[in-house]
Amino acid sequence: MIALLLRDLKLAMRAGGGFGLGLSFFLIVTVMVPFAVGPETELLSRIAPGVLWIGALLACLLSLDRILALDWEDGSLDLLATAPLPLEAIVTIKSLAHWITTGLPLVLIAPVLGVLLHLPASAYLWIFVSLLLGTPALSVIGTFGAALTVGLKRGGLLLSLLVLPLYVPTLIFGAEMARRGASGLSIETPMLLLAGISAASVALLPFASAAVLRINLR
Amino acid sequence: MSIWEYANPKKFLSTSEKVMPALWVLSIALTVGGLIWGFFLTPDDYRQGSTVKIIFIHVPAALMAINAWFMMLVASLIWVIRRHHVSALAAKAAAPVGVVMTLIALVTGALWGQPMWGTWWAWDPRLTSFLVLFLFYLGYIALWEAIEDPDTAADLTAILCLVGSVFAVLSRYAVLFWNQGLHQGASVMRAGAVAGDTEERVSNVFATPLFVCMGGFALLFLVLVLYRTGTEIRARRIKALLARERLEAEA
């Protein structure tokens, strides 16, 4: 398992920068927002938590097809499926690798981008915590979507159409938590619900993803 | 005599063809009758005027939009567990009907909301959950369209339907948490609403034609799904026949 994780991480770091791409995309989305809505400090600081969440979500979405498509193309997915490791574990590792290369950097850089959007000082901690809790769910749900569309030639658009509705609850609770944190309200309820969604997704969705992969590998 | 006999496509086709003419007549009669009753034979509401009558389309469509997804969920489960092709095809056949029902509910809701709430759209929990449901339907249909092998497509969409149902319910509650609503609660089925001993209820004058419309829409959904499932079965049969013909021509 660790070998597979290291392999995926190395591939993501080396092969043509899937690693930096998500981050750059996140940066550029955040930079584009003030151009679109105007530079007023007050407005920006009010919408900043939502913008950061949407940016993270889109950056995550962008990198989803890399989770499985490359392994599918060169046939290593077939090898992995016949390996002694259960497919559920492989899928979990793949999600974990995606989270480490995409989710975690997004979480770390989000407070920095918050400066650009005049994020209120009280919100830095909460945007960080909410993304930290929410991005694992994004990765795992995304892996499920990637597994569904892995056999398709031009699956990118379909992948977004399938995955984005599944992201709705995570986005709502995550952004709500960051927003409440920013305005100093109690964040307990959305935080617990967000953590619950993440934990349940991580625990259950790999089974669905593995089932889907088995069907696709048939 | 078990229900699984109808998992045989031939049996399904012959039976559904027998009951379908009656169902067509009954569903159209109920729908048209209920709508005429609702539109022309009920009084205008004293506050809402004649706009209240959109309820006769809006509520049955919304009801069927949810029930269609539920039916797809059951059909998908049957496909995953017992692998009856008719079940998978019925789920496939129900999806476009469901998406149209969702769209009708959304559009009639907007038409009603404009004079009543003064806005076409509000980010109200009920409205938003319906929009999310609409997106789920779109994704489901798109996945069916995208995959060529019919069995793979049936498997993948079935799992998407199962996972999607969980997330649809989650979204429903997430949305409820996210914004408090403008939309009224379910006032049609509330206990005592028909008996008439609660304050906030749909008056009996409106309730009876509404139930007729609901019955009509439900039957209409049923007959459309039967019809479309029959079409799917035949389309697949034609494909098989053509393939066999090609094989024999080559041999």
Token pair of B99, please?
Answer: 């998406």
Residue B190: per-residue pLDDT: 46
Q: Does the structure show a pLDDT above 70 at A2?
A: yes
Whole-number Å distance between alpha carbons of A118 and B231: 58
User: Nearest chain B Cα to A208, which residue?
Assistant: B159
- pLDDT, tens digit (0-9, with 9 covering 90-100), for A19-33: 678 888 889 988 898
Q: Does the structure show a pLDDT above 90 at B43?
A: no
Residue B176: per-residue pLDDT: 78
Distance from CA of A107 to the nearest CA of B (A): 22
Chain B residues near residue A215 by CB distance under 8 angstroms? 152, 155-156, 159
Q: For the residues A94-113, what does the mean pLDDT come to?
A: 89
Residue B45: per-residue pLDDT: 67
* Residue from the list B156, B162, B173 with its beta carbon closest to the beta carbon of A215: B156
Distance from CA of B32 to the nearest CA of A (A): 35
Q: For the residues B185-191, what does the mean pLDDT come to?
A: 52
Question: pLDDT band for position B103 (50/70/90)?
Answer: very high
User: What number of other Cβ atoms are within 10 A of residue A123's Cβ?
Assistant: 24
Report A:94-153 residues touching B (Cβ under 8 A). Answer: 144, 148-149, 151-152
Whole-number Å distance between alpha carbons of B131 and A122: 33
- Residue that the structure tokens 């997106």 belong to: B135
User: Nearest chain A Cα to B135, which residue?
Assistant: A165
A158–B142 C-beta distance less than 8 A? yes
User: What number of other Cβ atoms are within 10 A of residue A81's Cβ?
Assistant: 17
Question: pLDDT band for position B194 (50/70/90)?
Answer: very low
Question: What's the CA dihedral at A82, A83, A85, A88 to 10 degrees?
Answer: -30
Residue A17: per-residue pLDDT: 55
Q: For the residues B190-199, what does the mean pLDDT come to?
A: 43
Residue B1: per-residue pLDDT: 55
B159–A152 C-beta distance less than 8 A? no
Residue B36: per-residue pLDDT: 87
Token pair of B228, please?
Answer: 């479309």
The type of residue at A22 is: G
Q: If you write DSSP's letter for every residue of B202-235 in order, what string do you get?
A: --HHHHHHHHHHHHHHHHHHHHHHHHHHHHHHHH
Residue B198: per-residue pLDDT: 43
Query: Is residue A191 within 8 Å of residue A65, measured between CB atoms?
Result: no
Write the DSSP symbol of residue A152.
Answer: -
Residue B184 or residue A212, greater confidence: A212
Distance from CA of B249 to the nearest CA of A (A): 29
Cα-Cα end-to-end distance for chain A = 23
Chain B residues near residue A144 by CB distance under 8 angstroms? 163
Residue B223: per-residue pLDDT: 92
What per-residue string of b and e applies to A28-63 under the rule 16 or more CB within 10 Å gives b?
ebbeebbeeeeeeeeebbbebbbbbbbbbbebbbbb
Nearest CA-CA partner of B209 in B48, B3, B36, B19: B36
Question: pLDDT band for position B53 (50/70/90)?
Answer: confident
Residue B222: per-residue pLDDT: 92
Chain A residues near residue B171 by CB distance under 8 angstroms? 165, 168-169, 172
Whole-number Å distance between alpha carbons of B197 and B194: 8
- Residue that the structure tokens 């939309």 belong to: B183
A164–B171 C-beta distance less than 8 A? no
Q: Does the structure show a pLDDT above 80 at B29?
A: yes
Question: pLDDT band for position B49 (50/70/90)?
Answer: low
Q: Does the structure show a pLDDT above 90 at A4?
A: no
Query: Is residue B147 within 8 Å of residue B88, measured between CB atoms?
Result: no
* Residue from the list A158, A169, A176 with its beta carbon closest to the beta carbon of B167: A169
Q: If you write DSSP's letter for every residue of A155-214 in order, what string do you get?
A: -HHHHHHHHHHHHHHHHHHHHHHHHHHHTT---HHHHHHHHHHHHHHHHHHHHHHHHHHH
Nearest CA-CA partner of B135 in B160, B154, B156: B160
What per-residue string of b and e applies to B6-27 under the rule 16 or more CB within 10 Å gives b?
bbebeebbeebeeeeeebbebb
Chain B residues near residue A218 by CB distance under 8 angstroms? 152
Residue A208: per-residue pLDDT: 92
Most confident segment among A46-50, A204-208, B121-125: A204-208
Residue A18 or residue A96, greater confidence: A96
B139–A172 C-beta distance less than 8 A? no
Three-state SS for B5? helix
Q: Taking CA B249 as the corner, what is the angle to CA B247 and CA B251, rounded to the nearest 5 degrees? A: 70
- pLDDT, tens digit (0-9, with 9 covering 90-100), for B196-222: 444 445 666 777 888 888 899 999 999
Question: pLDDT band for position B11 (50/70/90)?
Answer: confident
Whole-number average pLDDT of chain A: 86
Sign of CA dihedral B136, B137, B142, B148: positive
Whole-number average pLDDT of chain B: 83
Does A82 reach chain B within 8 Å, measured CB to CB? no
B139–A218 C-beta distance less than 8 A? no
Residue B77: per-residue pLDDT: 92
User: Nearest chain B Cα to A213, which residue?
Assistant: B156
Chain B residues within 8 Å of chain A (Cβ atoms): 132, 135-136, 138-139, 142-143, 146-147, 152, 155-156, 159-160, 162-164, 167-168, 170-171, 173-175, 177-178
Chain B residues near residue A205 by CB distance under 8 angstroms? 163
**Three-class DSSP labels, B164-201:** HHHHHHHHHHHHHHHCCCCCCCCCCCCCCCCCCCCCCC
Write the DSSP symbol of residue B122.
Answer: -
B155–A168 C-beta distance less than 8 A? no
User: Nearest chain A Cα to B136, which residue?
Assistant: A165
The type of residue at B204 is: N
A164–B174 C-beta distance less than 8 A? no
Helices (H), chain A: 2-14, 18-37, 41-62, 65-73, 76-82, 87-98, 104-116, 124-149, 156-182, 188-217
Residue B185: per-residue pLDDT: 59
Query: Is residue B183 within 8 Å of residue B123, measured between CB atoms?
Result: no
Least confident range of A40-49, B27-36, B56-65, B118-127? B118-127
% of chain B surpassing 90 pLDDT: 35
Beta-bridge partner residues of B49: B45
Q: For the residues A183-201, what does the mean pLDDT come to?
A: 87
- pLDDT, tens digit (0-9, with 9 covering 90-100), for B135-181: 999 999 999 988 888 888 899 999 999 999 998 888 888 887 777 65
Chain A residues near residue B146 by CB distance under 8 angstroms? 149, 152, 155, 158
Residue B201: per-residue pLDDT: 54
Residue A18: per-residue pLDDT: 64
Question: pLDDT band for position B95 (50/70/90)?
Answer: very high
Chain A residues near residue B163 by CB distance under 8 angstroms? 144, 166, 205, 208
B171–A168 C-beta distance less than 8 A? yes
